[in-house]
Structure 1
Amino acid sequence: MKATETRARLLGKLNDKSAVVGVIGLGYVGLPICLATVQSGLATIGFDIDPDKCAAIAEGNSYLKHIGDAAVAEAVRTGRFGATTDFDRLAEPDFIVICVPTPLTRHREPDLSYLEATAREIATRLRPGQMVILESTTYPGTTREVLALILEGSGLTMGEDLFLAFSPEREDPGNRDYSTTTIPKVVGADSAAARDVAEAFYKAIVDEVVMVSDTRTAEMVKLTENIFRSVNIALVNELKQIAEPMGIDIWEVIDAAATKPFGFMPFYPGPGLGGHCIPIDPFYLSWKAREHDITARFIELAGEINTAMPYRVVESLARALDERLGKPLGGSKILLSGIAYKKNVDDMRESPALKIIEILEARGAEVAFFDPHVPLIPATREHQALAGRESLHWRKDLAADFDATLIVTDHDEVDYAGLLEHAPLVVDTRNACRKHGAGGDNLVLA
């Protein structure tokens, strides 16, 4: 099949809404894409290895709190959306969107095992006239050097029988101002025909499409966005360490600096980085840079500072216990307020709270937590021993049962005044108490 024929066929199916979309990986990225494509009028098949997710979708239920059941139920009600664990159905979609995890190994090297396994599943079912789009974050060159090579094992010719593109996900769970369809979509492909089709596909489902020259550029865009955040968060974390012994409130400094209408963008310190992107993506680029004999010193330094933050938080807590209560950390009862990686969501991916719990318990503390969004700690690759631990039920005097409360996540639903009223000591890593108008002599910023 010639490229012109493949292009015309796919564009025609988009125009008359007969195109079928397949989305592999129904997590925080994949499920929102499914809902967006269904909303645009395209029939969509969700693929996942987890039968529980597929069963939940069939019943019109969401397993992601920030999405809610109503959106999934409406998509299913249209008759254009269903989910399956049967990867033999991959021959049905005209567009296959890959949204699988791309984590790091213990040595901070890219782990593409999920992507490679998915590519092999696709390759055995490919037919002429399909487009495969990768949305999983990865290093520049992955689409061309890894995904394309596996897919070409099907015997189809890339750029003629089969089109390939990369479009980095920009999901921000819990963000009430932007959604999948309103966040501009960066898209890159390695041929003119593929770019035309990829652009048309995303224009059918999102408000704005930003085309770049090729897949490597699109891959670099995503890493640049998150490295920008990682470096600036590391900077304010370091500034906090400098300001604290000087008796300067770094939160006040940042808020005052943010009044400048140009040349400054506020970032805030915290207990460490969380989420799937910012703790991981910078190391994808620093790893790739080493192939070219380049040391990404800025990126590596930011990673060192941010990775050390859970340890610094524990040191701050230990110091506050000693100075305020005359108690050692070992043997103390510590309550964590919030364990999700950011406020107002149930997302536990790479949450610094998990590392903080492990450090506290290694130092002899007794640890419990409460989180209005996380009823229990899910299974994770790096913190398996914590899986299944349950959140305590909130009551106003809950903090009175503990020597100290450590605020790790600044959920809006938490009664911070109640915490301060009953807790012997509150160590706040997010400035949450003051942001909610609560304060007291037992409050320490960390």
Structure 2
Amino acid sequence: MPAIQSEALKQLQTRLRSRDCHVGIYGLGYVGLPLALRFAEMGIKVTGLDIDPHKVAQLNAGNSYIKRITGEHIEDALNNGFSATTDFAQSTHVDAQIICVPTPLDQHHQPDLSFVTDTVDAILPYFREGQIMCLESTTWPGTTEELLKPRLEHMGFNPGSNCALVYSPEREDPGNPNYTTATIPKVIGGITESCLELGQTLYGLAIETLVSVSNTRVAEMTKLLENIHRAVNIGLVNEMKIVADKMGINIHEVIKAAATKPFGFVPYAPGPGLGGHCIPIDPFYLTWKAKEYGINTRFIELAGEVNHHMPEWVVNKVAEALNQHRKAINGSRILVLGLAYKKNIDDTRESPAVEIMQQLQNKGALIDYSDPYVPIFPNKRDYHFDLKSVTLTPGTIRSYDCLVLATDHDDYDYAQLQECSPVIVDTRNRFNGANIVKA
């Protein structure tokens, strides 16, 4: 790799290598906050920037708003020089600007990069030579080159000459006890080789394993492939579940048996649908971009269609379960267990549990939920429930006509739930018994 030529980037490399540098993290959510804490843990000065003043106030007071991150973690970071702010003018003081903001879909199921472009546009008035900008948000291949690079060039900056620009996709897996921000390998692609070299030095301060690729498009496509791989295989096993159910076959027994093959098979668990910010959304970033090249990604879109309809499958199973007890959904009291999109976390983004609640309510059900990680139903763009998590006692459980296990948190007393409920619709294969309906 050729040596960095410009004086501005040589000075940046020196600051990074000496660890006498200042990192800015933009977006303090499930991705940005753990990354900020990791840099702070390694003795790097970090400023977190977010447009939400409540988050900023919470962090500066030593409090956490993410269940798996404790107040002690925040206090340790503050003691190591971490601070949070809503003032984007602070961007001029940092050496690295790492962007970790959401990339959702709009109401037409099209990519919405407004959070990324708004963040970059807020940074640019304070951008200066000798800084490195890093995008971590999941997006379509070409975003860094086609949206970020021209914005920098319009302001007189030339990535690879007087500044650096890289793409390094986030790979956070909330609730996974085996991998942390520090230990998940980091894929990095640069606009130029000197940009890549600086990106390696930056992330090497906090991440144990770096995986360098030839350019930003490869890095962007890597993240999409990872999540599309999961989406397609989950769609496959969800479709297999429906077929097996119609044939009177236990799909979970099938998967367990198939998994004994020591090669050529990877087990995936069926469920009530896809949740989280990545798997339900990321495939559509590629399908949208592929149309620019005249390609229809039929395989990806079919998997998305299967997964999209799984909440409806669950609702139909609830109707069957209640019908066995001579009841209808309309007027029945139904308790949904688990609002988070996966177990043992508090993240409800794109959770299929919420769509199940909405569909049941639309059919006249009286809906409640219980989730030890989500005490109050969060604000959402498309769903509005004025609810708080129900405390589970034998009395409250018996008051419901049906329970729906949407998220199998380890905190639940499964024996008590089964003993006290007349019928449970189980989407996670945690129960067995006469009063259990598998969905």
Measured against the shorter chain, the TM-score band is over 0.9
1:68 paired residue among 54, 67, 70: 70
Contact 1:123 1:153 (C-alpha < 8 Å) held by counterparts: no
Q: How many pairs does the alignment contain?
A: 436
Deviation at 1:144? 0.6
Q: Is the 8 A contact 1:272 1:307 kept in 2?
A: yes
Task: Quote the residue 1:425 is aligned against.
Answer: 423
Report if the CA contact (8 A) 1:184-1:207 is conserved. yes
Is it true that 1:287 corresponds to 2:288 in the alignment?
yes
| 2:394 partner SS | coil
- Deviation, structure 1 residue 38: 0.9
Please say if 1:326 is aligned against 2:326.
yes
Deviations 1:6-35 (A, max 9, x none): 332122101211110000000000001101
Deviation for aligned residue 1:431: 0.6
Deviation at 1:223, TM superposition (A): 0.2
| RMSD between superposed Cα atoms in Å | 1.1
- Percent of residue pairs identical: 49
User: How many Å apart are 1:321 and its aligned residue?
Assistant: 1.1
* Deviation for aligned residue 1:3: 4.6
CA distance in 2, matches of 1:369, 1:106: 26
- Opposite residue 256 of structure 2, the aligned amino acid is D
Inter-partner Cα distance in structure 2 for 1:301 and 1:38: 43
Q: Which residue of 1 aligns with 2:247?
A: 246
Q: Which residue of 2 aligns with 1:162?
A: 163
Deviations 1:275-312 (A, max 9, x none): 00000000000000000010001110000000000111
The aligned counterpart of 2:51 is 49
2:335 is matched with: 335
Instruction: Give the match for residue 221 of structure 1.
Output: 222
AA aligned opposite 1:274: G
Q: Provide the secondary structure at the position in 2 that maps to 1:432.
A: coil
Q: Which residue identity lines up with residue 120 of structure 2 in the other structure?
A: A
Task: Give the CA deviation at 1:257.
Answer: 1.1
Match of 1:271 in 2: 272
CA distance in 2, matches of 1:342, 1:55: 28
Q: Is the 8 A contact 1:20 1:44 kept in 2?
A: yes
Unaligned 5+ residue runs, structure 2? none
Residues 397, 419 of structure 1: 8 Å contact kept? no
State how far apart, in whole Å, the 1-side matches of 2:5 and 2:287 are. Answer: 36
Partner of 2:146: 145
Task: Give the AA of the match of 1:299.
Answer: I
Q: Deviation per CA, 1:14-60, whole angstroms, max 9, x where unpaired?
A: 12111100000000000011011111221000000111111111121
Q: d(CA) in 1 for partners of 2:390 and 2:360?
A: 18
SS of residue matched to 1:187 = strand
- Structure 2 contact 160–193 (Cα < 8 Å) conserved: no
What SS class does the counterpart of residue 124 from structure 1 fall into?
helix
Letter of the structure 2 residue corresponding to residue 196 of structure 1: E
> For the residues of structure 2 that align with 1:414 and 1:151, how far apart are their CA atoms?
51
Q: Deviations over 1:73-107 (max 9, x none)?
A: 111112x2000011111101100000111100122
Q: CA offsets per residue over residues 403-434 of structure 1, 9 Å max, x none? A: 1000000000101111110111001001122x
The answer for the alignment partner of 1:261 in structure 2 is 262
Amino acid at match of 1:412: D
Of the candidates 21, 24, 27, which is equivalent to residue 25 of structure 1? Answer: 27
AA at the equivalent of 2:15: K
After superposition, the C-alpha distances for 1:201-226 in whole angstroms (9 at most, x for unaligned) are 11111110000000000000000000
Task: Provide TM-score, normalisation by structure 2.
Answer: 0.98
Superimposed CA distance per residue, residues 140-160 of structure 1 (whole angstroms, 9 cap, x where no aligned partner): 000110111222232222221
- Aligned residues of 2:275 and 2:342 also touching (Cα < 8 A): yes
Aligned positions of 1:142-221 closer than 5 A: 142-221=143-222
Q: How far apart, in 2, do the equivalents of 1:154 and 1:377 lie?
A: 43
Q: Tell whether 2:232 aligns with 1:231.
A: yes
1:346 matched to which residue of 2? 346
Per the normalisation by structure 1, the TM-score is 0.96
Give CA deviations for 1:340-383 in whole Å, capped at 9, x if unaligned.
Answer: 10000000111111111110011111110111111011111222
Residues 398, 422 of structure 1: 8 Å contact kept: no
Which residue does the alignment assign to 2:381?
381
Partner of 1:403 in structure 2?
A: 401
Please say if residues 19 and 205 of structure 2, whose CA atoms lie closer than 8 Å, have aligned partners that are also in contact: no
* Separation (CA, whole Å) in 2 of partners of 1:207 and 1:6: 27
Matched, 1:445 2:438: yes
Q: Distance in 2 between matches of 1:3 and 1:193?
A: 8
Distance in 1, Cα, partners of 2:284 & 2:349: 16
After TM superposition, the structure 1 = structure 2 runs for residues 99-118 of structure 1, keeping only pairs within 5 Å, are: 99-118=100-119
1:106-150: CA deviation from partner (whole Å, max 9, x where unpaired)? 221100111111111111111110000000000000011011122
CA distance in 1, matches of 2:7, 2:311: 55
Describe the SS at the equivalent of 2:367.
strand
Q: SS at the partner of 2:35?
A: helix
The question of whether the paired residues in 2 share the 8 Å contact of 1:88 and 1:125 is answered with yes
The question of whether the paired residues in 1 share the 8 Å contact of 2:152 and 2:158 is answered with no
- In the alignment, structure 1 segments of 5+ residues that lack a partner are 434-438
> Structure 1 residue 66: deviation in Å?
1.0
- Structure 1 distance, partners of 2:75, 2:175, is 19
1:239-268 CA-partner distances (Å, limit 9, x unpaired): 001101211100111111112221111101
Corresponding position of 1:436: none
**C-alpha distance in 2, partners of 1:119/1:75?**
25
Compute the displacement of 1:401 (Å).
0.4
3-state SS in 1 of match to 2:295 = coil
Alpha-carbon separation, structure 1, partners of 2:258 and 2:405: 25
Match of 1:40 in 2: 42
Query: Residues 413 and 288 of structure 1: is their aligned pair in 2 closer, same or farther, counting only changes over 3 Å?
Result: same
Give the whole-Å Cα distance in 2 for the aligned partners of 1:245 and 1:194: 55
